[in-house]
Amino acid sequence: MLYILYSVAALFITLSIILSLYRIAKGPSMPDRVVALDLVGINLISLIAIVSLLLNTTAFVEVILLLAILSFLGTVAFSKFIEKGVVIERNRD
């Protein structure tokens, strides 16, 4: 019973990832693609949580936190590149 529930949740999250991939491919502007990429990262975190429930293991708990940190870092770097044209500034005064 619980197995079916997890599988349905994983199916819907996969559907959500596919829809955001459509936005990444189609998105008219660059910020659209960055937001969709952030959404893919967060959906992947949920998918990893569900897969670790399906496999009945706690070995993937670190991966969740790590992916959250990397997704945040990547979004910040992309936003700075879009806004200012440079990712790491020389001097900020």
Partner 1 sequence: MRQNDIILQTTTKIVLFIILAFSVFMFFNGHNNPGGGFVGGLMTSSAIVLFMLAFGLETTKRILPFDFKLVAASGLLIAILTGMGSFVFGVPFLSHTFGYFTIPILGEMELATATLFDLGVYLVVVGVTLTIIQTIGEDS
CA dist 83 and 66 (Å) reads 26
Tell which one of 9, 21, 53, 63 touches partner 1 (CB under 8 A): 63
Stretch that binds partner 1, among 7-15, 17-25, 44-52, 60-68 (CB under 8 A): 60-68
Nearest to 72 by CA among 16, 34, 15, 26: 34
**Helix, coil or strand: residue 21:** helix
Sign of torsion, CA 44 45 49 55? positive
Number of residues forming the site for partner 1 (CB under 8 A): 22
Residue 92 interacting with partner 1 (CB under 8 A):
yes
Residues constituting the chain? 93
| Least distance from partner 1 to the Cβ atom of residue 73, Å | 6
Q: Which is nearer to partner 1, 30 or 69 (CB)?
A: 69
Per CB under 8 A, residues contacting partner 1 are 59, 62-63, 65-66, 69-70, 72-73, 76-77, 80, 83-84, 86-93
